[in-house]
Structure 1
Amino acid sequence: MGRSHSRLLVPIMSAAMLMLAACGGGSGGSGSGTQGSAAPGEKIKLTVGLFGDFGFKPLYEEFKKTHPNVEIEERQAAFADHHTNLAARIATGAGAADVEAIEVGYISSFTAQPDKFVNLKDYGAADRQKDYLDWKWQQGLSKDGQTIVGLGTDVGGLAMCYRTDLFKEAGLPTDREEVAKLWPTWEQYIETGKKFTEKAPRGAKFFDGPGEIMRAIVGQASVGVYDAQDNIVVGTNPEVKRAWDLSVQMIQDGLSAKIGAFTPEWNTGFAKGSFATVICPAWMTAYIQDQAKNAAGKWDIAAVPGGSGNSGGTHLTVPKQGKHPKEAAELVMFLTTPENQAKVFKAIGNFPSIPALYDQPDIQNFKKDFFNNAPVGKIFSDAARNLKPQHLGPKEGDVRTAIGNGLTRIEQGKQTPEQSWEQVLKDVAKIK
């Protein structure tokens, strides 16, 4: 799901744990994926590996109307576990699901292994290129462009979600247009955070934690943690250092609740109103709605500082080790149609990667009561149109984890910003 889930604070599993995870089950064996499709009338089961709820369950029932012999089992895992386990299962040739979701921060490490995946081109996917945002389509291709490894589900065009009740208590405006005027830049976001802190309600901080903030700032640059030649440029790209310095300043100014994204503490923070703002790709709206059930109408959505950016988005792939590549590929094709991407957006918030949908009235005019009737269709259509695509390297997720760990060390008082930055540079230098 647009789930930005290239989490900066994701722990890295040891090699031993990776191999243990590889022993987990999948519907496929260790075969090469050369098995044919099911025989007429043969009952088969397809497994779908996801990280969280993608809103697919109603679509499975639609798919089964044209594939009555297919049973679909969905397997959900935590974001970090999903990608770590998938890497091990692809490496060992066993245990992967028939269909596997891969988030944008990890997709390039898998498109670098096209021999391990079914080429969706063999099942007509090339005809879908015209539907997609060009950069989203390119992300799912092997480096030589000959293999369609994955078809995109959603994109994570950025906005900023905020608690209107906490803003009001702190003496700040609550109207989304007025709120957006508070922070056209990240520097002004920090100044707004200081004003919030002066009168903040008891127990509330300005934002959750610096990991997603840093990711958003880096994501707005033309070049991120990798250059176009797949060189890690964390130490030489001034945009990365700027994002780091801004994130550190936010920590030092006491604006952070020191809560890592996608942790149990984060979920509790949503429920208790522990922070007033959170980086908000489209998919985040469903997450907030699920975790902050008691806050309907108290959340709203404004433009993100810097004006645009992307955080998250996913592709669906078919590992070769599955027993039913034809049916699995047909399921991927079905789940990613424009019609079904629109249904998923309206159901849970994952924003389509199909630009022709953005001007359709049912998308453009779509609003969410939970977010104070915010025009989420227009907000995220505008965000998606303004995206500046950024090259993602093969170990994007690992690099971001190293940076996020560095920010955590500062928050926990274990290192000074200077010490932590030096360790970040040493840690990313070891990533190959």
Structure 2
Amino acid sequence: MQTPRRTAAALAAVATSSVLLLSACGGGSGDADAAAGGPVELGVSLFGTFGYDEVGLFKEYEAQNPGVTIKYESTQGEDKYWPALQTRLASGAGVADVQGIEVARISDVVANQPDQWTDLRDTPAAEAIGRYIGWKEAAATTPDGAVLGLGTDIGPMGLCYRSDLLQQAGLPADPAAIAAEMPDWNAFLALGERFKASAPAGTAWHDSAGGLYNAIVSQQQQIYYSQGGDLVFDSNPAVRSAFDTAAHAGQSGLTAKLEQYVDPGWDQGFSSGSFATIACPSWMIGYIKGKAGDGGSGKWNVTSLPGGAGGNWGGAYLGIPQASKHKDEAAKLIAWLTAPEQQAKVFRAVGNFPSTTDGIASVADTTDPYFDNAPIGKIFSESAKNAPVQILGPEDGVIKNAMVQALLSVETTGASPDDAWKTAVGNVKNQAG
């Protein structure tokens, strides 16, 4: 929510429904005002596009709750957002009443930071805890049962593509026809070679090796950690296979060699046509619309991952730091924001897929006119249904970023896949142990 919100990397950018000074977040006149029915100012600090501001949910909540004012900030890059939040949590100052937590960080929160976050069982959000799909709630729950976050979305996977560019290269552009050409990832690369042979000038098959890698590992249950919590990223054959497949794509000239959320050319590529396909967690739908603009409507489409496999890349939580002075009011807000009705509104507008069971059921028939009326509800519902329950670990974000950076070196500096892999492993062990 990703990107957005669901990845490492991006220039910091601020989007506000009203200007937020982080030093004021969690401040104000305290719980006494809320208890007395006085005005309450709630700070909300997120990363990327959660959809709440875009859909108008903050204004809607304010209208339904006179006296509540929401001050909102979003940092574009989660890799910038998270370290800054850690500094504020450690100092006990400057945190918002509501903070976003990316799924790759939730294990770290549960294992290492439970005392810095509010147990939602003790707040008005308690009644909302049971409405999420099972693994979403479980990932935010400590061994002694404390629930530290409410789920916003999940990231079921598809493949987004430019129909016009595929047609120009003589490839099928119908979603079902493309899916039939891709029974597995090797077939996806073979289709890319066919595209490359007749591609429009300046257009690569895929945006980045790192994005391709993340799509492939999104289909695995065990990625970087074992069920027992041991680091297994360097011995897990699924991780190495995904790395090698993505590195091959980069070496073969099938990628545009663009770093997601960092390289300005990547943002521009959605409209300029520098790449024809991109691994597409549901939250990428809204990002594409924002970057491709009105001119991209009808040119972009969506199909399933190779072989119709399920996968999950991304998703987030809303938590309340212990330093918040408005815990009850913040709990009411996050329970409302993550309710099925609001999750469905966000999905239909920006693509963030619901994490509540009722929310998932309500969007199953959703189509998107921007994507040539693609049945996005069906595509992402099936991907979510077929996705494994992933094992999460405290350094998932660190490891993912190391792999992406290593693959970027293959694309841009000509590093060999073996050398890039060794570099990634060494960097992870230096940072994660």
Matches within 5 A, 1:124-135: 124-135=124-135
Partner of 1:17: none
Partner of 1:312: 314
Partner of 2:66: 68
Offset at residue 302 of structure 1 (A): 0.5
Give deviations 1:120-172, integer Å, cap 9, x for gaps: 11124443343211111112222x14211100011110000010000001110
| RMSD of aligned alpha carbons | 2.0
- 213-222 vs 60-69, which moves further: 60-69
The 1:69–1:259 alpha-carbon spacing in structure 2 relative to 1, beyond 3 Å, is same
Asked if 1:408 corresponds to 2:408, the answer is yes
Alpha-carbon contact 1:103-1:314 (below 8 Å) kept: yes
Offset at residue 10 of structure 1 (A): 6.6
- 58-67 vs 202-211, which moves further: 58-67
Partner of 2:390: 390
Secondary structure of the 1:343 match is: helix
Give deviations 1:15-49, integer Å, cap 9, x for gaps: xxxxxxxx9624136x9xx9666242322211111
Question: In structure 2, what is the Cα distance between the partners aligned to 1:178 and 1:60?
Answer: 41
Secondary structure of the 2:306 match is: coil
Amino acid at match of 2:343: Q
Amino acid at match of 2:332: E
Alpha-carbon contact 1:217-1:243 (below 8 Å) kept: yes
The 1:290–1:10 alpha-carbon spacing in structure 2 relative to 1, beyond 3 Å, is closer
Partner of 1:301: 302
Partner of 2:182: 183
Alpha-carbon contact 2:213-2:243 (below 8 Å) kept: yes
Question: In structure 2, what is the Cα distance between the partners aligned to 1:3 and 1:137?
Answer: 22
Offset at residue 3 of structure 1 (A): 4.3
Alpha-carbon contact 2:157-2:311 (below 8 Å) kept: yes
Offset at residue 313 of structure 1 (A): 0.6
Offset at residue 173 of structure 1 (A): 0.4
TM-score (norm 2): 0.91
Secondary structure of the 1:431 match is: helix
Matches within 5 A, 1:244-393: 244-263=243-262, 264-293=264-293, 294-306=295-307, 307-360=309-362, 363-393=363-393
Q: Which has the higher contact order (CA 8 A, sep 6+)?
A: 1
Alpha-carbon contact 2:4-2:48 (below 8 Å) kept: no
TM-score (norm 1): 0.91
Asked if 1:44 corresponds to 2:44, the answer is no
Offset at residue 240 of structure 1 (A): 0.5
Amino acid at match of 1:121: R
Question: In structure 2, what is the Cα distance between the partners aligned to 1:221 and 1:234?
Answer: 12
Offset at residue 74 of structure 1 (A): 0.7
Matches within 5 A, 1:142-181: 142=142, 144-181=143-180
Alpha-carbon contact 2:150-2:319 (below 8 Å) kept: yes
Question: In structure 1, what is the Cα distance between the partners aligned to 2:90 and 2:245?
Answer: 38
Give deviations 1:331-357, integer Å, cap 9, x for gaps: 111101111111111122111011233
Figure out how many residues of one structure are paired with residues of the other and give that number: 415
Unpaired runs of 5+ in structure 2? 12-20
Give deviations 1:36-63, integer Å, cap 9, x for gaps: 6624232221111111232213222332
Partner of 2:191: 192
Secondary structure of the 1:256 match is: coil
Amino acid at match of 2:396: E
Matches within 5 A, 1:67-86: 67-79=65-77, 80-86=79-85
